[in-house]
Amino acid sequence: MIKILSKLREIIARWWGDFTLQTRLMAGATLVVSLIMSGLTFWAVNTIQLDARLNDTRFGRDLGLLLAANVVPLVYEDNRTELARFSYSFYQSTSSVRYMLYADKDGDIFFGIPYSEPAVQNSLAIRRRMQLPENYVRNADLPMVRQHITPLGEVTDVFVPLNYEGEYLGVLALGINPNPTVVTSSHLTRDVTVAVFVSIWVMVILGAVFNALTITQPIKELLVGVKNIAAGNFKQRIDLPLGGELGELIYSFNDMAERLERYEEQNIEELTAEKAKLETLVSTIADGAILLDTEMHVVLVNPAARRLFGWENKHLESETVLEHLPNAVTMQLTRPLYQAAAGESEAMEFRLVLPEPSAHTIRILLNTVLDQSRENVKGIAMTVQDITREVALNEAKSQFISNVSHELRTPLFNIKSFIETLHEYGEDLSEPERREFLETANHETDRLTRLVNDVLDLSRLESNRRYQLTGVDATQPIEQTLRTYQLNARDKQIELLSDIQPDLPLVFSNYDLLLQVLINLVGNALKFTAAGGGVMIRAYRAPEQSPHSPVKAVRIEIADTGIGIAPEDQAAIFDRFFRVENRVHTLEGTGLGLSIVKNIIEKHSSRVNLVSEVGTGTTFWFELSFFSPESEKNLTEAVSANLEAAKAGSPILQSAG
């Protein structure tokens, strides 16, 4: 029983919890109104009943006195026949009397309606005795009246003493029925009140249940749906078979959720596509890009930044960037990063040298990322630029200017010195001395001319100028070079020889550029070869598919038996103004010849190689592709690609296919 009551209480509590505040207020108001109305109704019924009882009492007293006045003489005369006739006549004339009882002075009932003593005695053989009330008075002037409830309803008992000329003869007891109209009205009022009360509460309960089932429950479903929509769950749907305005509301809600879901999917696709574009764009940027939030956590990092800081195999997203940056960068950027996150600065620039993972110089730019109102800082964008090549180019530029200035100043100073001497002391000098001064000035002028020409040639070669490459017979520039340096070699007692393979095919080249390469290489060989040595020019078909010759080519070698090049100098031998004679201190040169050779050969999509041993000699060699109409286009494209690569600073050289 306790479990049933507990379960019932839980059900009622759950139902009550489903009611809205408005429904609860309506139920409370209905309860108060129904209680007030019920109280007023019961008060009115009780008042009516009290008035009815008072009227019944008065009526019973008057009726008892009237009847007693008519029957006392008959009782005194003991004329029971006439008493019975009169009593029956009186009983039948009114419906207000329920019973009549006559008792003698000892209380024995000798006549009664609806029964009489003879009848009782004859049929039941028993005697009846009237039990008079305790407060009954025999000689009272007024009858005694009381009311009691019987199974047949309320009855008013009237006890009238029968006194005749001062003698007490007995008692007359009358049972008076209540006024039927009043009883009916009272019962009707009570029944109507109960019916109204029950109807009101039945309606309230049914209305509450209907409200909970048809209004409250859908509204709660709508509330849950709206919360899910607000939380981003656009798959929320409400499936309630309702009509009317509430049904239209649910239909509109489902339609809104469906539209939001489609809109979200479309937005997600667009955002994903835009994010993919952005990530692709960021990943292709040559500079490093790092995006941080205000807590210094990494949001985005591109491959260039990973490569610069050695983060290739690290998971950095949601990590603190200061824990992964090199120590030099961390020390330099910690305070500026927090200043940028606090909005104290918008843009800052730093330049650092990183020894690891490889020595390079970087430039770091810090920029704050603001919201749409440009008032609050949402993050920090770090741009990392590898300026190692830029620094090297600036240093090379400075070195180039310094070297050119030095190289130009020396011959200019010598020319000026000798000319001033001739101008001021020419008359005091002998003819051999004046001729020596002029020869020296002429020699320095030639040296200055060579320097200027070499600088111009190098500048022209390093520019984006394109040279027309066509089929060239390599034998011709080789023979012209031999003719040019034959006398010079003979004067130095150096043997200048050539070894050219017969029937060499034409090569892709520019005759003038190839001739300049050969003149520079042979000139260097003669300059660094002592008397009694030799210089050899070879030209032959290169071994096919060799590491240095991916295509069919002619290999040209310039070998000498000179002083050789030390291993530590071989890496820098092609740099501008680098001269082996700087170590020797006996020979002159501009230091630009091999740099010019390197640039010319690179324009042919090839490279210059060397093999050297100090005290034994040096061999420079390079390869030029065969000329054919089919491969001319490929070579032209390769040359163009090499020019673009050189322009972008890439060391990669392509070979013609």
Q: Among 170-184, 207-221, 463-477, 627-641, name the one with the lowest average pLDDT.
A: 627-641
Clarify whether residues 56 and 158 are in a common domain. yes
Three-state secondary-structure class, residue 556: strand
Residue 120: both structure tokens together: 């009782």
Does residue 657 fall inside a structural domain?
no
In this structure, the number of other CB atoms found within 10 A of the CB of residue 494 comes to 21
| pLDDT band at residue 120 using 50, 70 and 90 as cut-offs | very low
Q: How many helices (H) and strands (E) does the chain have?
A: 17, 17
Three-state secondary-structure class, residue 301: strand
For the cut 50, the answer to whether the pLDDT of residue 402 exceeds it is: yes
Average pLDDT, the chain: 77
Residue type, 548: H
CB 42 within 8 A of CB 193: yes
Average pLDDT over residues 266-284: 75
Place of tokens 């964008």: 381
Percent of the chain with pLDDT strictly greater than 70: 78
| pLDDT band at residue 318 using 50, 70 and 90 as cut-offs | confident
Does residue 459 fall inside a structural domain?
no
The total number of structural domains in the chain stands at 5
Clarify whether residues 542 and 518 are in a common domain. yes
Q: Among 13-17, 150-154, 400-404, 584-588, name the one with the lowest average pLDDT.
A: 584-588
Measured in degrees and rounded to the nearest 5, phi and psi for residue 384 equal: -115, 120
Does residue 654 fall inside a structural domain?
no
Q: Which of 194-203, 311-320, 426-435, 481-490 has the highest mean pLDDT?
A: 481-490
- DSSP track, 423-477: HHHGGGS-HHHHHHHHHHHHHHHHHHHHHHHHHHHHHHHHSSPPPPPEEE-THHH
Clarify whether residues 176 and 291 are in a common domain. no
Does residue 2 fall inside a structural domain?
no
The CATH number of whichever domain residue 424 belongs to comes to: 1.10.287.130
Clarify whether residues 122 and 154 are in a common domain. yes
Residue 579: both structure tokens together: 């001269």
Clarify whether residues 249 and 316 are in a common domain. no
Specify the length of the chain in residues.
657
Clarify whether residues 481 and 380 are in a common domain. no
Does residue 5 fall inside a structural domain?
no
Model pLDDT, residue 586? 43
Does residue 167 fall inside a structural domain?
yes
Smallest Cα–Cα separation from 356: which of 328, 397, 387?
328
Please indicate, yes or no, whether the overall pTM of this predicted structure exceeds 0.85. Answer: no
Strands (E), 73-152: 97-104, 109-113, 144-150
Clarify whether residues 78 and 206 are in a common domain. yes
Residue 500: both structure tokens together: 């050219």
Smallest Cα–Cα separation from 496: which of 540, 559, 557?
559
DSSP type of residue 147: E
* Cα-based torsion angle of the residue sequence 419, 421, 427, 432 in order, rounded to the nearest 10 degrees: -80
d(Cα 521, Cα 557) in Å, to the nearest integer?
10
Clarify whether residues 240 and 339 are in a common domain. no
d(Cα 159, Cα 65) in Å, to the nearest integer?
10
Which among 231, 250, 265 is the end of a domain?
Answer: 231
Average pLDDT over residues 285-311: 83
d(Cα 175, Cα 605) in Å, to the nearest integer?
144
Find the domain containing 579 and state its range. Answer: 464-648
Clarify whether residues 382 and 526 are in a common domain. no
Residue 497: both structure tokens together: 């020889």
Q: What is the 3-state secondary structure (H, E, C) of 356-401?
A: CCCCEEEEEEEEEEECCCCCCEEEEEEEEEECHHHHHHHHHHHHHH
Does residue 532 fall inside a structural domain?
yes
d(Cα 348, Cα 339) in Å, to the nearest integer?
10
Q: Are strands 534-541 and 495-500 parallel, antiparallel or unpaired?
A: parallel
In this structure, the number of other CB atoms found within 10 A of the CB of residue 652 comes to 9
Q: For 575-613, give one letter per residue: b (16+ CB within 10 A) or e.
A: bbbbbbeeeeeeeebbbbbbbbbbbbbbbbbbebebebe
Cα–Cα distances in angstroms (integers) from residue 181 to residues 48, 52, 64, in the given order: 11, 10, 22
d(Cα 593, Cα 516) in Å, to the nearest integer?
9
Which among 367, 386, 405 is the end of a domain?
Answer: 386
CB 325 within 8 A of CB 308: no
Smallest Cα–Cα separation from 469: which of 640, 584, 279?
640
* Cα-based torsion angle of the residue sequence 137, 141, 142, 143 in order, rounded to the nearest 10 degrees: 50
Q: Among 30-34, 224-228, 607-611, 612-616, name the one with the lowest average pLDDT.
A: 30-34
Task: Give the pLDDT confidence of 526-585 residue by residue, as tens digits.
Answer: 988 999 999 999 999 888 755 555 568 899 999 999 988 888 877 778 776 665 544 443
Model pLDDT, residue 555? 93
Residue 316: both structure tokens together: 């950095």
Clarify whether residues 156 and 244 are in a common domain. no
Is 360 exposed, middle or buried (CB count within 10 Å of its CB: 0-12, 13-18, 19+)? middle
Does residue 7 fall inside a structural domain?
no
Which among 358, 386, 414 is the end of a domain?
Answer: 386
Average pLDDT over residues 110-131: 59
Measured in degrees and rounded to the nearest 5, phi and psi for residue 347 equal: -145, 135
Three-state secondary-structure class, residue 549: strand
Q: Are strands 97-104 and 167-176 parallel, antiparallel or unpaired?
A: antiparallel
Cα–Cα distances in angstroms (integers) from residue 424 to residues 218, 313, 387, 420, in the given order: 118, 76, 53, 6
Clarify whether residues 249 and 216 are in a common domain. no
DSSP type of residue 216: I
| pLDDT band at residue 640 using 50, 70 and 90 as cut-offs | low
Residue 467: both structure tokens together: 């040279």
d(Cα 259, Cα 256) in Å, to the nearest integer?
5
Clarify whether residues 375 and 429 are in a common domain. no
Average pLDDT over residues 641-649: 50
Model pLDDT, residue 72? 86
Query: Which residues lie closer than 8 Å to 131 by C-beta, 6 or more apart?
Result: 107
Place of tokens 């509109």: 252
The alpha-carbon radius of gyration of the chain (Å, integer) is 66
The CATH number of whichever domain residue 587 belongs to comes to: 3.30.565.10
The CATH number of whichever domain residue 201 belongs to comes to: 3.30.450.20
